[in-house]
Every structure is written in C-alpha cells, then in structure tokens.
C-alpha cells in the first residue's frame, strides 16, 4: 500500500483538461512544498514533470501544472494530447521513517 493515494485511472478526450489528485497527510504533502510529479510511458524511465508543487522543469510543456490544497496535491494537464497517455506518479518529502514517498500511480487514457 502506497503512502500517497492516487486514483488508479483517469481519462479524457483530446483537447480536454484532466486533474490527477495525490492525497497524503500533514507529515508529507500537507506539511511541505516538496511534491513532485513524474510521467512514465510504457517501458521507459519516469520523467520529471513538476517539482516543488508548482514548478515546471525547462522543456516540459506549459500544459502541465501543479497545485496543492491541504493534504492533497494535484496535477492538471490541459489541452490533452495523445502523447500524454502514460502513468503518472506523485512523490513527496516526508518526515516519517522514509524521506521519500510515492503515490501508487495513475494511468491516464486519452480517448
């Protein structure tokens, strides 16, 4: 069982917007602004999409944005494209026994 809770799957049509949630506790997501998001296409390594809740690395499309409210962080993808179909994982710093926790992952399907 993952420390952070993500929906198993989300879907959307091309051009639409979707949001993936990542729920933790005050010991991780809610307590620190160190949430990051990763995109993983089948057979590939995860790729950093968002760090420190809202920051986008250079080269990542501005269609990807992050936010946080309380113990829940969110990744929003606007203007969905077929290439966005992938698994998405959130991660957070945590003050618990491990310094890093991951979500269970969300499979995004572009209809």
Please give the residue ranges that form the binding site for another protein (CB under 8 A): 2, 34, 36, 38, 44-48, 51-52, 55, 57, 89, 91, 93, 97-105
Residue with smaller CB distance to another protein, 14 or 99: 99
Residue with smaller CB distance to another protein, 14 or 100: 100
Angle at 25 between CA 84 and CA 60, to 5 degrees: 25
User: Distance between CA atoms of 108 and 65, rounded to whole angstroms?
Assistant: 15
Minimum CB separation of residue 72 from another protein in Å reads 18
Half-sphere exposure of 14 (CA within 13 A, CB side): 3
Residue with smaller CB distance to another protein, 67 or 79: 67
Q: Are 21 and 7 in contact, with CB atoms under 8 Å apart?
A: yes
């Amino acid at each position: 069982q993952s420390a952070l809770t993500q929906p198993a799957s989300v879907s959307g049509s091309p051009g639409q917007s979707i949001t993936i949630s990542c729920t933790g506790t005050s010991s991780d997501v809610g307590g620190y602004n160190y949430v990051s998001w990763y995109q993983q296409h089948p057979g590939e390594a995860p790729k950093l999409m968002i760090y420190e809740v809202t920051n986008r690395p250079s080269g990542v499309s501005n269609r990807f944005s992050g936010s946080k409210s309380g113990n829940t962080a969110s990744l929003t993808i606007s203007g969905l494209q077929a290439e966005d179909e992938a698994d998405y994982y959130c991660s957070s710093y945590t003050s618990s026994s491990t310094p890093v926790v991951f979500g269970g992952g969300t499979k995004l399907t572009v209809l």
